[in-house]
């Protein structure tokens, strides 16, 4: 095959994700896996039953319509109205995708040209860097720094150049748990309008907020026509394996994203789309209980990590806690996470893998709390042996 590397240069260096390495370590060592963010309890029984019914009744077993089944598109539009006061037309302004992951990929592949710059908060969710690279664009990180992990808006302004095409934001933010305030979002929106930028906003943790309120940037003045809002059912309904996600945006943005999406998967998750349509219409008590349960788990893990000697940064949203390992006499999160399963039978993720500026994340380590209380209690007891 000659000397040319098989993997193209856009993806060079983006080998196996750290999640795969750490999850394999968890299995090999029988450790408690607080690395990858997936719940150890499935979502609501009635939603599972809705999927079974759809399968049995032959709804979605063959290719569903490219934009998603009308029942789900309508439910997504209703959900945007019910929780955020945003009106979207289910036919022209909603697109169903294979999880938020495909929505991110299709958005970036559709809207970017080689040479464009994309400003994104780092630490980044790992698919952002890969999709920006696949689009041939350049990522420009705005680093969220400990201990507050809030964006420096003057720095954001200074990063905008004539090549900037898109701002990629994520609120609530994985892995820091930062939830952007309405003031921060207003400042970001003003910059987007002033410089005529597109905005893609990843809101998969929109319902997982504790105290802080989630505000969609699409609701702000001047933003409706330039914003692609992305969310998914995985986190909200604890069915991460179903991979049902969606985009809401103006008709021209949805048409652009759909053009890229149709050549990625075309369609996916037929019967699950009907089930997610039912899930989105669950009563408020479902969403309130989800939040209350996760708040209890957050506090259990934050208190336990603090007692074990970590500096834990209490998240306002998501189901992750970022910690600093410096108080434990440790410096390097990657080394620490590789050794942790052997030392005490727990797996975590080093935040350094989410940064270009590796120094900014070197001593930070992320744990998830979307696990049963008894699993978190056992993990905390193990970590106290450190």
Write the DSSP assignment of 121-160 as a string of letters. Answer: EESPPHHHHHHHHHTT-EEEEEE--TTT----HHHHHHH-
Three-class DSSP category at 245? strand
247 binds ligand PLP (CB under 6 A): no
Residue nearest to ligand PLP (CB): 99
Contact pick of 151, 234, 270, 350 for ligand PLP (by CB under 6 A):
234
240 binds ligand PLP (CB under 6 A): yes
Contact pick of 43, 44, 68, 99 for ligand PLP (by CB under 6 A):
99
- Which range in 108-116, 232-240, 300-308, 325-333 contacts ligand PLP by CB under 6 A? 232-240
Asked if 201 and 217 count as a contact pair (C-beta separation under 8 A), the reply is yes
125 binds ligand PLP (CB under 6 A): yes
23 binds ligand PLP (CB under 6 A): no
Asked if 128 and 139 count as a contact pair (C-beta separation under 8 A), the reply is yes
Residues between 174 and 193 with contacts to ligand PLP, criterion CB under 6 A: 174
Strand partners, 32: 346
Q: How many CB atoms lie within 10 A of CB 315?
A: 30
135-174 mask for ligand PLP (x: CB under 6 A)? Answer: -----------------------------------x---x
216 binds ligand PLP (CB under 6 A): no
CB-nearer residue toward ligand PLP: 346 or 349: 349
Asked if 178 and 142 count as a contact pair (C-beta separation under 8 A), the reply is no
Q: Which residue has the tokens 């990929």?
A: 105
- Which range in 98-106, 270-278, 322-330, 345-353 contacts ligand PLP by CB under 6 A? 98-106
Least distance (Å) from ligand PLP to the CB of residue 340? 21
Burial of 138 (0-12, 13-18, 19+ CB in 10 A): middle
33 binds ligand PLP (CB under 6 A): no
Asked if 297 and 307 count as a contact pair (C-beta separation under 8 A), the reply is no
Least distance (Å) from ligand PLP to the CB of residue 134? 16
- What's the rounded Cα separation, in Å, for the pair 81 and 168? 23
- What's the rounded Cα separation, in Å, for the pair 355 and 350? 10
Contact pick of 47, 50, 100, 280 for ligand PLP (by CB under 6 A):
100
HSE of 220 in the Cβ direction (CA atoms, 13 Å)?
22
Pairing state between β 198-202 and 227-232: parallel
Least distance (Å) from ligand PLP to the CB of residue 202? 5
Least distance (Å) from ligand PLP to the CB of residue 6? 26
Count of residues of this chain found to bind ligand PLP when the rule CB under 6 A is applied:
14
Contact pick of 34, 204, 254, 360 for ligand PLP (by CB under 6 A):
204
Burial of 10 (0-12, 13-18, 19+ CB in 10 A): middle
- Which range in 66-74, 240-248, 275-283, 334-342 contacts ligand PLP by CB under 6 A? 240-248
Applying CB under 6 A, the residues found at the interface with ligand PLP are 37, 99-101, 125, 170, 174, 202, 204, 232, 234, 240, 243, 245
């Amino acid at each position: 095959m000659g000397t040319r590397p098989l993997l193209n240069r856009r993806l060079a260096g983006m080998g196996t994700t750290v999640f795969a390495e750490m999850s394999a370590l968890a299995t090999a060592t029988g450790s408690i896996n607080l690395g990858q963010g997936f719940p150890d309890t499935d979502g609501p029984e009635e939603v599972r039953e809705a999927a079974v019914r759809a399968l049995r009744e032959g709804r979605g077993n063959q290719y569903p319509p490219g934009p998603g089944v009308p029942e789900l598109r309508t439910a997504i539009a209703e959900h945007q109205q019910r929780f955020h006061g945003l009106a979207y037309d289910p036919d022209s302004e909603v697109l169903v995708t294979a999880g938020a992951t495909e929505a991110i990929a299709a958005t970036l592949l559709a809207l970017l040209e080689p040479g464009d710059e994309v400003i994104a908060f780092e630490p980044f969710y790992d698919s952002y860097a890969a999709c920006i690279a696949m689009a041939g664009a350049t990522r420009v990180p705005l680093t969220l720094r400990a201990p507050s992990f809030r964006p420096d808006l003057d720095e954001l302004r200074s990063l905008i150049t004539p090549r900037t095409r898109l701002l990629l934001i994520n609120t609530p933010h994985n892995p820091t748990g930062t939830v952007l305030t309405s003031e921060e979002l207003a400042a970001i929106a003003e910059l987007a309008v002033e410089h005529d930028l597109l905005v893609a906003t990843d809101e998969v943790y929109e319902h997982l907020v504790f105290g802080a309120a989630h505000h969609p940037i699409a609701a702000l003045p001047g933003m409706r026509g330039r914003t692609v809002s992305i969310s998914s059912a995985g986190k909200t309904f604890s069915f991460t394996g179903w991979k049902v996600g969606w985009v809401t945006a103006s008709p021209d943005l949805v048409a652009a994203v759909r053009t890229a999406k149709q050549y990625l998967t075309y369609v996916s998750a037929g019967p699950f789309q009907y089930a997610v349509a039912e899930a989105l219409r669950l009563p408020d008590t479902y969403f309130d209980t989800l939040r209350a349960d996760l708040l209890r788990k957050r506090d259990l893990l934050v208190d336990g990590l603090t007692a074990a000697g970590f500096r834990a940064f209490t998240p306002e949203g998501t189901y992750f806690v970022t910690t600093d390992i410096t108080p434990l006499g440790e410096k390097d999160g990657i080394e620490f996470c590789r050794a942790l399963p052997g030392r005490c039978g727990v797996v975590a993720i080093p935040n350094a893998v989410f940064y270009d500026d590796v120094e900014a994340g070197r001593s930070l380590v992320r744990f998830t709390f979307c696990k049963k209380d008894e699993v978190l209690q056992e993990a905390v007891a193990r970590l106290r042996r450190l």
